[in-house]
Amino acid sequence: MNLALFDLDNTLIAGDSDFQWAQFLIEKKALDRELHEAKNIEFYEQYKAGTLDIHEFLDFQLKPLARHPRTQLEAWRKEFMAQRIAPIIARGTRELVERHKLDGDLCIIITATNSFVTSPIAHALGIEHLIATEPEEKDGEFTGRVAGTPSFREGKIERLEKWLDDHNLTWLSFLRSWFYSDSLNDLPLLSKVTHPVAVDPDPTLKSHAERNNWPVISLR
């Protein structure tokens, strides 16, 4: 068996679901535009630059989940999927995923974005397994805090290895492993797999990939 890992934002989709979710909530007037829009843009720029403090960002990004009942959040999420996500699924995504599935590879989306936002995206793409940052819940409602290790930078490796261990697997269970990503933030995990692939990469990742003879592809 082989392992195929996929980053989500700006890789399988041509945009950032975290950023889009906050903008969607602003449009719904669930968040104050004046207070949140500039901060959302600032965090996104920090992410792209590789300077994001993930805990500061999650404090900003998860708090809105605690301000509204789960039923309301799920209704908004359904609209969000149709309006913001479906149009930005990258053109080559389904073909790439299907190729790995037909080969019998274990396919996992591994993303820093929280699982509330990303679980329906994984489902829409036909990928059963998702490793994402987990928002803390209490009595079925969100607390606004993160549960466990965020799935970000080296945290992706920690979370993946825990997932593999829970499924009685290790890196040695796989002859080959792929990771598809656009971001310099994913260099730690890209460096762990046998087949790192840069997908529509940011400038830092593109330079690193070219220096190390990693494939550079586009799904758009």
- Residues annotated catalytic, as ranges: 7, 9
Structure tokens at 181: 């990503």
Residues 150 and 133: beta-carbon distance below 8 Å: yes
Helix (H) or strand (E) holding 192: none
Asked if residue 111 lies in contact with residue 101, where contact means CB atoms within 8 angstroms, the answer is: no
Of 169, 179, 155, 152, nearest to 57 (Cα)? 152
Three-class DSSP category at 141: strand
Name the token pair of 87: 């149009």
Distance CA 216, CA 220 (A): 13
